[in-house]
A = this chain, B = another copy of it.
Amino acid sequence: MVTKAAKKGEIKCPVTGMLQLIGGKWKPIILYCLRSEKRRFGEIAVRIPDLSRKVLTEQLKELEADGLITRQQFNEIPPRVEYALTALGQSLSPVLNEMEKWGMENIISKQ
């Protein structure tokens, strides 16, 4: 929600601000996937089968640009790239945990 101050550009709604970083259609799932371990590109892709590799590449770039994940590239053949959460990315854990919990209670358990 946006306050008067937000209209002046002084501060923003915290939820709005957060959604600018993880508001994409896939970003929360990607971060959730990286929550506990660093993972290679292909590993993430396997775990999110409905996400095309092209879009995954794009989303990872944005997450890296926003400082939520790191990208470590190994100059090997075939190529290897590992993604991991930054401290800022880790700080999202409470949000992701609540999402997971809600999904468990309201979706998974009702199937």
Quick check: B108 and A2 within 8 Å, CB to CB? no
- Which residues on B sit within 8 Å (CB–CB) of A102? 14, 18, 91-92, 94-95
Min CB–CB distance A106 → chain B (angstroms): 7
Interface: A56 (CB within 8 A): no
Complex Cα distance A94/B108, Å? 18
- Which residues on B sit within 8 Å (CB–CB) of A15? 28-29, 32, 96, 99-100, 103
Interface: A77 (CB within 8 A): no
In the complex, chain A residues 6-24 whose Cβ is within 8 Å of any chain B Cβ = 7, 10-19, 23
Quick check: B100 and A14 within 8 Å, CB to CB? yes
Interface: A76 (CB within 8 A): no
Sampled A-B contacts (28; CB under 8 Å): A1-B29, A1-B32, A1-B48, A2-B47, A2-B49, A12-B107, A12-B111, A13-B29, A13-B32, A13-B103, A14-B101, A14-B102, A14-B104, A14-B107, A15-B96, A15-B100, A15-B103, A16-B48, A17-B107, A18-B106, A18-B107, A19-B25, A23-B28, A91-B105, A91-B106, A95-B99, A95-B102, A97-B98
